[in-house]
Amino acid sequence: MEQKNSYEKIYDIVKQIPRGTVATYGQVAALAGNKRWARVVGYALHVNPDPEGIPCYRVVNREGRVSEAFAFGGENRQIGLLEADGIEVKDGCVDLSKYQWRKEIF
């Protein structure tokens, strides 16, 4: 059986984030198998090989803030993509109580 590397695990999780929801870096890290990988999630998303298929714009920080350094067009591009998904972004921030993906960690 082929062993997946950390980036592949992260991309697999990000692909599951439903339209209209967001996940935090830490949440993606925990779901990918290591709650301490939040920075690794950031690195992986910055070099996302398939932005169309891996919706990295749906990942925000623990406060719901979008990335000022969004790799695929900057902060305003991320906000535009989130708003196109039906997610309200106010002052660069998403209301996690309303839009955070509720996926259980097994």
Q: How many domains does the chain have?
A: 1
Q: Residue 79: what pLDDT?
A: 96
Residue type, 41: V
In this prediction, residue 75 carries a pLDDT of 87
Question: Which residues, including other chains, have CB under 8 Å from residue 83's CB and lie 6 or more apart?
Answer: 89
**What is the per-residue pLDDT for 32?**
96
Give pTM, 2 decimals.
0.92
Would you say 32 and 68 are in contact if contact means Cβ atoms under 8 Å apart?
A: no
What is the set of active-site residues?
56
**CATH code: domain of residue 82:** 1.10.10.10
Query: Pseudo-torsion of CA 26, 20, 46, 34, nearest 10°?
Result: 20
Q: Which of 28, 96, 35, 19 is nearest to 64 (CA)?
A: 96
On whether residue 71 sits in a domain, the answer given is yes
Find the domain containing 30 and state its range.
Answer: 6-99
Say if 40 falls within a structural domain: yes
Count CA within 13 A, CB hemisphere, residue 49.
5
Residue 1 lies in a domain: no
The answer to whether position 89 is within a domain reads yes
Is 104 within a domain? no
Residue pLDDT, tens place only, 25-83: 999 999 999 999 999 999 999 999 999 999 999 999 999 999 988 888 888 999 999 99
Joined tokens for residue 41: 């999630």
Residue 68 pLDDT: 87
The yes-or-no verdict on residue 106 having pLDDT over 60 is no
DSSP secondary structure code for residue 4 in this structure: P
Q: What pLDDT is attached to residue 60?
A: 97
| Residue-level pLDDT at 3 | 62
Q: Which secondary structure element, helix H or strand E, spans residue 90, and what is its range?
A: strand 89-90
